[in-house]
Amino acid sequence: MSSGITILDPTNEATPATRQLLERPESVKGLTVGLLDISKPRGNVFLDRFEELLVDHGAKVLRFAKPTFTKPAPVDLRHEIATQCHVVIEALAD
Amino acid sequence: MITSLPALPDGFVVIVKEECATCQMVEPVLATLAAGPIPLTVYTQDNPDFPAHLSPIHDADLSVSWHHNIDTVPTLIVVKDGKEVQRTFGWSRDDWQKLTRVADLGAELPVMRPGCGSMSVDPDLVDALRAKFTDSPVIAREVSFASAEDEFEAMYARGWTDGLPVIPPTRERVLRMLAGTNRAPQDVVAVCPPNLVELTVEKIAINAVMAGCLPEYMPWVITALEAVCNDEFNMHGVLATTMPVGPVIVCNGPGTRAIGMNSGINTFGQGNRANNTIGRAVQLVIRNVGGGRPGEVDRATQGNPGKISFCFAEDELGSPFTSLATARGVVSGADAVTVFAGEGPRCVVDQLARTPEELANSFAACLQTVHHPKLVIGFDAILVVSPDHGRVFAQAGWGRDRLITEIMEKTMTSGRDLVRGAHGMAEGIPPHLIDATLPKFRPGGLLLAYAGGGAGLFSSIIAGWANGAIGSDPVTRTVTY
């Protein structure tokens, strides 16, 4: 029993949806891998090398870029990636 | 919950409290009315037996006083067919005689005597009465703490604070806060980053209570949130960046003085409730409603103490310049908020300059160091000129535009001094710009404000973040009440 003070919830009271992660693929061979460049300077240098390695492992690579690293990826871009790729690699670089 | 209007009986209705000397004074008048042909009903707010012999009804829960908007006792109301026809408050012999049509009523009393405050508007009681009697428009989930729980510790433990204690947002306090705005509690003010949640006036009010705001600050908090929650200001990016910036809020207009904002001594510092709690409320909303917390979406490498609150007013009355808001298109005399993604203020010392050129040279040299002396165009800044420095420009007849133009010219630097590697510093602009001559700021990227105490030849620079479409643009909004 509570008989202490009662206050109003300052948060958004939202319950985040929980989603099951997909199974991790055994291999990237034959998969389409999306590489999302967040548009930080020199991120492309890292991603170029990464693309080489993925292609060596038999993957097809598609490159995507956010318009600016300071804002979330636009909905259309997220949709494009989701419909064209089996796997996406997105990482924050700094 | 009693939210309906308790009906008043026909005839004369008088609301009194014994504590009020005017109510005591009119006791014989009430006795006269009671003896007359029209029924008299007396409601007493305090002593159930006052006035003696008149069978008063005790308005113990003040529901009659609350619902009939009694501000002053005594209040005389004439009721006909269950409806109020006329009322007067305090003692005015003329009014009482007119309303009662008793020609010599209170002839022995003075012509007039003001009444006293009704208990239903007593500042110590009014919030509880509002919560009890109004059909609450507030729909937020209630959180009850156990009796042995310390509410301040409990709120901290739930992650709802900025590390400092917050005021518990009880229903009473939130309703009082909501009285500070004309907007309905469920109005959606903005979509709040980073979690893109619909932000209602009610949720703002809850966080404004926690921040320590007074109700009259609400329009400023709401407007500041409207100004930061959009793609132009890009609050998401301001949070997520590793740079040490947060929303800096500059307030303009007569309303800043009406709510007691500080534009003078220690304007960026501690001690003023409005300055400190408006900025704090904005940040608590971003944290609690938006979900933007340090270490999560907020990735600041070092941050800055202004991320708890950084809000100040311009000293428009003392300023030799047009105000920041006016310069940004707001009608002169309107209340407005400008938000700027900025770090903490840094001091510019020049105690020797006596000409505007000398002082502008100092400003330009110090502004050149914003984030890095060899990085240009990409960051905006606010220069906050103090009164002692402002006087130098005022005496020379330099206005806002002249000062900004002069500073921009004085920051023009050869690409040779700015390119990567120049002067033994790897940081700098790309090599292809080596032959360019560049100003420190993009056009419009140097903002000017005027504030500070009357003594001290010091001004301040508030450096910004990545500007324009890739980062944040300053946003100005007029205050909506």
Domain coordinates in residue numbering, chain B? 11-133, 154-478
Beta strands, E only, B320-445:
336-349, 379-385, 413-414, 437-438
Strands A60-65 and A32-37: parallel
Residue B459: the pLDDT is 98
Burial class of A56 by CB neighbour count within 10 A (0 to 12, 13 to 18, 19+): exposed
Mean pLDDT for the stretch of residues A16-37: 88
Round to whole Å and give the CA distance between B386 and B371. 22
Residue A45 domain-assigned (yes or no): yes
What is the rounded average pLDDT of the residues A48-66? 94
The whole-model pTM stands at: 0.83
ipTM for the predicted complex:
0.80
A62 domain-assigned: yes
Q: Does A15 touch chain B (CB under 8 A)?
A: no
pLDDT of residue A94: 62
A10 reaches B (C-beta below 8 A): yes
Query: Is residue A44 included in any domain, yes or no?
Result: yes
Give the per-residue pLDDT at B159.
96
A3 touches chain B (CB under 8 A): yes
- Identify the pLDDT of residue A3: 67
Q: What is the pLDDT of residue B51?
A: 95
Please report the number of interchain residue pairs, chain A to chain B, with beta-carbon separation below 8 angstroms: 98
Contact between A72 and B237 under an 8 Å Cβ cutoff? The reply is no
Angle between the N-to-C axes of helices B273-288 and B218-228, in degrees from 0 to 180, rounded to the nearest 10: 50
Q: Name residues 301-320 of chain B within 8 A of A (Cβ).
A: none
At A72, is the secondary structure helix, strand, or coil?
coil
Residue B478 CA to residue B334 CA, distance in Å, equals: 7
Minimum CA–CA partner of B201 in chain A: A10
Q: What distance in Å separates the CA atoms of residue B206 and residue B168, rounded to the nearest whole number?
A: 9
pLDDT for B4? 67
Domain residues for the domain of A39 are: 32-90
Q: What is the pLDDT along chain B (481 residues), one digit of tens a residue?
A: 455 678 899 999 999 999 999 999 999 999 999 999 999 999 999 999 999 989 999 999 999 999 999 999 999 999 999 999 999 999 999 999 999 999 999 999 999 999 999 999 998 898 888 888 877 788 999 999 999 999 999 999 999 999 999 999 999 999 999 999 999 999 999 999 999 999 999 999 999 999 999 999 999 999 999 999 999 999 999 999 999 999 999 999 999 999 999 999 999 999 999 999 999 999 999 999 999 999 999 999 999 999 999 999 999 999 999 999 999 999 999 999 999 999 999 999 999 999 999 999 999 999 999 999 999 999 999 999 999 999 999 999 999 999 999 999 999 999 999 999 999 999 999 999 999 999 999 999 999 999 999 999 999 999 999 999 989 999 999 999 9
Asked whether residue A38 is assigned to any structural domain, the reply reads: yes
Q: Does A5 touch chain B (CB under 8 A)?
A: yes
User: Are B168 and A7 in contact (CB < 8 Å)?
Assistant: yes
Instruction: Please count the helices (runs of H) and the strands (runs of E) in chain B.
Output: 17, 21
A91 min Cα distance to partner chain B (Å): 14
Q: What is the C-alpha end-to-end distance of chain B, expressed in Å?
A: 29
CATH topology of domain B11-133: Glutaredoxin (3.40.30)
Q: What is the reported pLDDT for B299? A: 93
Q: For strand B75-80 and strand B83-89, is the pairing parallel, antiparallel, or unpaired?
A: antiparallel
Residue A1 banded pLDDT, cuts 50, 70, 90:
very low
The pLDDT of residue A15: 77
* A43 found inside a domain: yes
How many domains does chain A contain in total? 1
Token digits of residue B412: 């023009």
Domain assignment present for residue A47? The answer is yes
Q: What is the pLDDT of residue B1?
A: 45
Select from A70, A75, A78, A92 the residue whose CB has the most chain B CBs within 10 Å, as the one to mutate to test that interface: A70
The answer to the question of residue A52 being in a domain is: yes
